[in-house]
Structure formats: C-alpha cells, structure tokens
Amino acid sequence: MLNEKFFCLYSSNLEYSNDNSFQKIKNLLISYFFGSFIIVVVVLIIINPLDFLITRYFHFKSVNQLISLNHKKIIKFPFYIMIFIVLSIEEILFRLGFKVTKINISIFIGLTAYLLLGGKIIKFEIQNQIGIIYILITFTMAVISYFYMPSKIFDFLDIKKKWLITASIISFGTVHILNIKIFYWQLLLFYPFYVLPQMIMGFFITNLRLKYGFVWGLLLHAFFNTINFLLSRS
C-alpha cells in the first residue's frame, strides 16, 4: 500500500497527482495513521529508554517532562491560534517554497525577515508601533524579492529541490527542540532524538504536499496538530 506511487519525495517528477478527492483523503488518513504508528514505535524504543538513561544515570530532569510542561503552556492558547495561525506559518516557512515561484519565495523571505526581526505571532498587536515597522519591513522585503531577485536563484533552488526537501524535514524537526522548557547544553547531542517524532511528521506532510499541493500538506499538518491538541487537553 505504501509503495513508490505513494512516496514521491525524491521522485524525478514532482508534478501534482491527478488522484480524485476520495483517493487524496484516503492517502491523508494513511499518512496520519502510518506516521503516528512510526512515531509511537520511536517513542517506545528510542525516546523513552533515552529519557530513562538521562534521568537515572546522568541525573538530569526528564526531557519528556520538560517538553510536557511546555505543551501544557501552549495548549492554554486558543485553538484557532495553535491549529491555524502557527500551523500556517510553519507550512509557509518549511514547505511553501517547494514549488519554486516568485510569489512563494517572496512570501517565504518576507515571513522569515519578520520572524528574524523578532516579530510576534501569538501575541501580535497591530497597534504596537514596532509591530507596524516589522510589517512594513516584511512587505518591503517580499516586494524586493519578487521584482528584483535574479532568475538564476530560482533556477538554482529548483535544481537543488531534493536537497531543500531533506533540509526542510530535518530543520522542521530540529526547531521543535525549542519545546524543551529547560535547555541543558550537556545534553545537546541527545536532543535530536527527542524531535524524531516531528521529523517523521514532517516527512509525511512533505510527501503529501509534493504529491497533491500545499493545501493537502496543510490539512495533514492540521490533522496531526488537532489530534495532539485534543489528546493534550483530555
């Protein structure tokens, strides 16, 4: 069932599939359940034993508990913020640019500039003067990128798309290290194992995004986040 036709991440032909809506929904559900199964296996055979090692023999606080503490803080935010706003931003940052067009790359550059400047997402306030400045800079960067970025850059990104896909999956997982409430530099080499679930999730989201388009990757991401959000609140 999960054959080369299903996985298209590194296919030489990244044109969108013409599957009907039923097949798309079916593959979305398959992606969710198969991805979730792999995540559970990884947690049981890698993450939990590693956490036991860290607490029992290295005498650090449980990283699983530190992540859980941060999740408890996150789920206090409104549902629409965590599921739609934050999720959409993640998809733009990590997967919009797979279709290398001027508008997609310009949106990515503008949003990246906003976040690097320190722009807020969850507590955004349009009446805040500095927030307005950030928005203006973001818009300016996007416009400059759209009209003045050399076409050679777009050609280069298109040629290196397979590398970008790999980098995206890894970076999508790695950025979730920020979910660890207290960071111990001594455990730096162990932290990547704790974000393997996000890398696995990113793998399946990326696959569906490349197979059917940006919206379907977004829907799968929303499905993952919604189930996790509801389980965290139960």
Instruction: Output the CA–CA distances (angstroms, integers) from residue 12 to 53, 139, 169, 216, in the order listed.
Output: 42, 34, 18, 20
Which pLDDT band, with edges at 50, 70 and 90, does 133 fall under?
confident
Tokens standing for residue 90: 């993640």
Q: From CA 234, how far away is CA 148, in angstroms rounded?
A: 50
Number of neighbouring beta carbons within 10 Å of residue 59: 7
Residue 158 pLDDT: 80
71 is a domain residue? yes
Q: From CA 164, how far away is CA 99, in angstroms rounded?
A: 11
Q: From CA 124, how far away is CA 121, in angstroms rounded?
A: 5
21 is a domain residue? no
43 is a domain residue? yes
199 is a domain residue? yes
175 is a domain residue? yes
Its pTM stands at 0.89
Which pLDDT band, with edges at 50, 70 and 90, does 168 fall under?
very high
Q: From CA 213, how far away is CA 196, in angstroms rounded?
A: 24
Residue 216 pLDDT: 95
Number of neighbouring beta carbons within 10 Å of residue 98: 21
Judge whether 34 and 2 are in contact, CB under 8 Å. yes
Residue 177 has pLDDT above 90, yes or no: yes
Residue 8 has pLDDT above 80, yes or no: no
**What DSSP assignment string belongs to 54-121?**
HHHTS-PPPHHHHHHHHHHHHTTS-HHIIIIIHHHHHHHHHTGGGS--HHHHHHHHHHHHHHHHT--S
> Residue length, the chain?
234
8 is a domain residue? no
Of 42-51, 88-97, 98-107, highest mean pLDDT:
42-51
9 is a domain residue? no
Which residue would you say has higher pLDDT here, 120 or 226?
226
- Number of independent structural domains in the chain: 1
19 is a domain residue? no
Range of the domain at 141: 26-49+57-233
